[in-house]
């Protein structure tokens, strides 16, 4: 199915923890291409509504899993489930419970965040996360406090520039 191929290709980017380019072989930005493709295809829009959040979760989960060199067996043990159950989840075979997503997040060193306000919620790109951690440490603040202050300042400055023009 075309939907699976496109969302699977989106999910595998950034797994290695390396700085990601998110460009395809033609130089087109992958995320923009995927969003445009989904917007123009009713079947893909429905698929994205059903699986988009889980696909996004799995992208971040696999990124953290790769950074920590964890196996499915390691994660299954930490979550109190089987390696085959973890494998099914990673291949989008079933809909996990909130509790399992929470345990998976903790197993890879993360924490689960769920919000109905996805359009105004930001996930820091992987290539900026270490820089943000370092900056927060230097300023002796939590990362979420740093990001809140930086976003507020950037939006306030953009509004001010717009008012001046």
- Mind listing the pLDDT tens digit for each residue in 50-90? 888 888 899 999 999 999 999 999 999 999 999 999 999 99
Average pLDDT over residues 6-18: 39
Domains in the chain with CATH codes: 2-116 (1.10.260.40), 122-165 (1.10.1220)
Q: Report the first-to-last Cα separation within the chain, whole angstroms.
A: 49
Give me the pLDDT at residue 11, please: 40
The tens digit of pLDDT for each residue in 149-160 reads 999 999 999 887
Distance CA 52, CA 30 (A): 15
CA trace torsion 20, 22, 26, 29 (10° rounding): -140
The mean predicted confidence, pLDDT, of the chain is 81
Q: What is the pTM of this model?
A: 0.68
């Amino acid at each position: 199915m075309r939907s699976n191929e496109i969302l699977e290709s989106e999910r595998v980017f950034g797994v290695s923890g390396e700085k990601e380019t998110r460009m395809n072989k033609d130089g087109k930005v992958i995320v923009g291409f995927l969003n445009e493709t989904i917007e123009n295809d009713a079947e893909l829009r429905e698929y994205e509504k059903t699986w988009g959040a889980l696909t996004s979760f799995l992208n971040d989960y696999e990124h953290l899993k790769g950074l920590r060199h964890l196996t499915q067996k390691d994660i299954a043990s930490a979550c109190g489930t089987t390696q085959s159950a973890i494998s099914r989840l990673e291949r989008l075979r079933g809909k996990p419970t909130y509790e399992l997503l929470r345990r998976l997040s903790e197993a890879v060193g993360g924490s689960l965040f769920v919000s109905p306000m996805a359009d105004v919620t930001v996930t820091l790109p992987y290539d900026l996360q270490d820089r943000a951690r370092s900056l927060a440490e230097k300023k002796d603040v939590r990362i979420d406090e740093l990001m809140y202050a930086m976003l507020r300042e950037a939006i306030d400055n953009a509004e001010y520039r717009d008012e001046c023009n």
